[in-house]
Chains A and B, each alone.
Chain A
Amino acid sequence: MENERRVVSVIVVNEASVLSRITDLFSGRGYNIESLTVAPIPESKYSRLTIVTAGSVRVIEQITKQLHKLIPILRVYDHVDFVEKEMALIKFPLAESITDIDILCQAYNGKIVNVGEDMIVAMVADEPRRIDNFLKAIKRFNPKEIVRGGAVALER
């Protein structure tokens, strides 16, 4: 139960320094951020953040309450059933088997998105836990760089 991974989804007014209010809250109170994504909600004055954090039930409850206290925060979702996805970009040397990489990527909702002179870039988009697995599986293809996008989530 201790330090369980948790997703908190937050709707905020899209205004100056709202992101630093949130990150300051996490650092100031000693909470952990594993990943954070943010983008405006189309055709509204709001943005949506997805924060992946870890903590005991009590810590998560405090995080939620403290987030609620921030003035520009409209809504905080936690402890709800989320659909969760994360994207990752991976760069491989061209020397590796493109076909094998491509097949593997397809199994994780991905594909090869760019082929350069000596490198290829592949993308995948799947549940964060499956991304973890994917990144283990591709080790034998000698990935040169990996960028994870951080989880985005939407309540079911």
Chain B
Amino acid sequence: MQISGAQIVIEALIAENVDTVFGYPGGAIMNVYDEIYKQDGFEHILTRHEQAAIHAAEGYSKASGKVGVAMITSGPGFTNAVTGLADAYMDSIPMVVISGQVPMSLIGTDAFQEIDAVGISRSCTKHNYLVTDASDLGRVLKEAFYIAASGRPGPVHVDIPKDVTAQIAEFDYSLPIELETYKPHTKGNTRQIKKAVEAIAKAKRPLFYLGGGIINSNASEQIREFVKMTGIPAVETFMARGTLRYDDPMLISMLGMHGSYAANMAMSETDLVIGLGARFDDRVTGKLSEFAKNAEVIHVDIDPASISKLVNANYPIVGDVKIVVEAMMELAREQVKSSRYESWVETINNFDKLHPLSYNEDVERIKPQWVIERIGELLGDDANISTDVGQHQMWSAQFYPFTRARQFISSGGLGTMGFGFPAAIGVKRADMKRTSINVTGDGSILMNIQELMTAVEKKLPVINVILNNNFLGMVRQWQTLFYDKRHSETDLSVQPDFVKVAESFGGIGYRVTTKEEFDAALKDAVEKNVVAIIDVQVHRMENVLPMVPAGGSLFNMMLLEQKEK
């Protein structure tokens, strides 16, 4: 079939079963937008900033498990999108991002809205392409979707000069992918798996260390079964929240900088770390030389470069965590006796009784942690929780009662403020049946507030819950703790009227100062099913605890001083 480059883009997206494209048009991508206008194979959602288009596609991908697709123009359109690409790269989110480029004849001439896009995206994508001939376009897009979703997922950027989208070329999407230099390893070495299971059977204090790779691999069912079968306690990373149900008796909690006392102590006391799809990030390990000091390490990961990068693995297994865990279960069924670990579980439970994840109530102002717990009580499984970045994000990870994978959508690796709202729009689009909540802060929400327009226009009713402490809270916390209370440039006392902001875009706003008002506002927003901001005035100086100071050992936590109730 002889069609234009722009038509090839459309046909390829339809062939990939794409139902949603987030984007923003501009000069260099206009040929493609002209074809978008003519087609009805997918819906295009116009965000109000390119960064938001990428985050929305990320949220869509994380909630649905599909490849997220975004489209932008050249120059500033592309550079605005870079933060989103970097975010998706750090969190291994499968994405295809298509950008326009100036015509081939103008490349290298400092043309209007020209920037070396592939030069910039090289270091923040899994792979990228500059397509110089329309006859390559179909193949490139097919490869892009394959590379994005396979192996360790990630964003793939395809840059297309304007004249290439006008060129006529042959299109045949049925041609097989031939990438002889890219063959992800999914199965896992049988001998290593055997040795790993033997190590589990021999260990006295083994610990599952569950990471975000489990979510990417859609392996949470298998993990739940594996944990139950072995009776081995588990900690989750921030990225893995929801892998186990919050009330799973074997789930300790999140570990790391703001992990629970019991989770961090368990990691410090274990004699065998069973790492599944986790990458030993610095926010998890704290001081490396003190991390799980007495333990051997099993590390299952699809990315060989993640294995023994930071912590040496005694049992390295390269493979898809779902496939590997299924193989491990076959052997563990016979070899691993859950009764063996009962006293270890009890030790951990005692840690948890000593310093549970908790907070002290305050009579005058709402505590931010209460808000998270309350959303959990009122909506629970019926909500997907996106967050921005900062204190509210950590409280969400600590206190929300997650019941399933893909319920918690947040910017982990890059820590991108402004992620939450557009991501929650993408989440809503992927899962219309559930309520899409964006838990945010008074700092973060202003970084992509313009997306109120997108959500209102496209009737994607995201409920933004601002935990408003009139501070850039997490930075303020560090300043309080480590900079002798010099709160440099973090006081956000001057603020917009968030209720009016929401209303001016056609949404609905609530200002909340009491628990009763919060309940009423959340119920009302869910019922009315419209875009909302709930501006919750919370305690200003609340800190996220426990806390392992950056570079400190995991077992040296700042803990909550518990008040007598």
Q: Which residues of A does B touch, CB under 8 Å?
A: 12-13, 16-17, 20-21, 24, 28, 58, 61-62, 65-66, 68-69, 71-74
Is B127's CB within 8 Å of the partner chain A? yes
Query: Please, could you name 27 A-B residue pairs with CB atoms under 8 Å apart, sorted by A?
Result: A12-B181, A13-B181, A16-B130, A17-B119, A17-B122, A20-B119, A20-B122, A21-B122, A24-B122, A24-B123, A28-B123, A58-B308, A61-B308, A62-B309, A65-B304, A65-B305, A65-B309, A66-B305, A68-B304, A71-B126, A71-B127, A71-B147, A71-B179, A71-B181, A71-B182, A72-B181, A74-B181
Closest 8 CB pairs of A and B: A65-B305, A71-B127, A74-B181, A71-B182, A28-B123, A65-B304, A24-B122, A66-B305
**Distance in angstroms between the alpha carbons of A5 and B122 in the assembled complex:** 27
Which residues of A lie under 8 Å from residue B308 when comparing CB positions? 58, 61
Residue of B nearest to A21 (CB): B122
Interface size class of B (residues with CB under 8 A): 10 to 19
Residue of B nearest to A68 (CB): B304
Is B527's CB within 8 Å of the partner chain A? no
Expressed in whole angstroms, the minimum distance between the Cβ of B502 and any Cβ of chain A is 41
* CB atoms of B179 and A62 under 8 A apart: no
* CB atoms of B181 and A69 under 8 A apart: no
* CB atoms of B304 and A74 under 8 A apart: no
Q: How many residue-residue contacts, CB under 8 A, span A and B? A: 37
Is B118's CB within 8 Å of the partner chain A? yes
**Distance in angstroms between the alpha carbons of A148 and B309 in the assembled complex:** 34
Is B484's CB within 8 Å of the partner chain A? no
* CB atoms of B180 and A74 under 8 A apart: yes
* CB atoms of A68 and B305 under 8 A apart: yes
**Distance in angstroms between the alpha carbons of A69 and B127 in the assembled complex:** 10
* CB atoms of A69 and B303 under 8 A apart: yes
Expressed in whole angstroms, the minimum distance between the Cβ of A49 and any Cβ of chain B is 14
Expressed in whole angstroms, the minimum distance between the Cβ of A40 and any Cβ of chain B is 16
**Distance in angstroms between the alpha carbons of A65 and B308 in the assembled complex:** 10
**Distance in angstroms between the alpha carbons of A21 and B124 in the assembled complex:** 11
**Distance in angstroms between the alpha carbons of A21 and B126 in the assembled complex:** 11
Quick one: CB contact mask for B119-145 with A, threshold 8 Å, 1 for yes?
100110011001010000000000000
Most B CB within 10 A of own CB, among A28, A62, A71: A71
Which residues of B lie under 8 Å from residue A17 when comparing CB positions? 118-119, 122, 130
Which residues of B lie under 8 Å from residue A68 when comparing CB positions? 304-305
With A20-B119, A72-B181 already in contact, the answer to whether A62 and B127 are too (CB < 8 A) is no
Q: Known pairs A20-B119, A24-B123. 20 more at Cβ < 8 A?
A: A13-B181, A16-B132, A17-B118, A20-B122, A21-B122, A28-B123, A58-B308, A61-B308, A62-B305, A65-B304, A66-B305, A68-B304, A68-B305, A69-B304, A69-B305, A71-B126, A71-B127, A71-B179, A73-B181, A74-B180
**Distance in angstroms between the alpha carbons of A58 and B309 in the assembled complex:** 8
Which residues of A lie under 8 Å from residue B127 when comparing CB positions? 71
Which residues of B lie under 8 Å from residue A66 when comparing CB positions? 305
Which residues of B lie under 8 Å from residue A61 when comparing CB positions? 308
**Distance in angstroms between the alpha carbons of A68 and B303 in the assembled complex:** 10
**Distance in angstroms between the alpha carbons of A71 and B181 in the assembled complex:** 6
**Distance in angstroms between the alpha carbons of A24 and B303 in the assembled complex:** 20
**Distance in angstroms between the alpha carbons of A129 and B304 in the assembled complex:** 33
Which residues of A lie under 8 Å from residue B119 when comparing CB positions? 17, 20
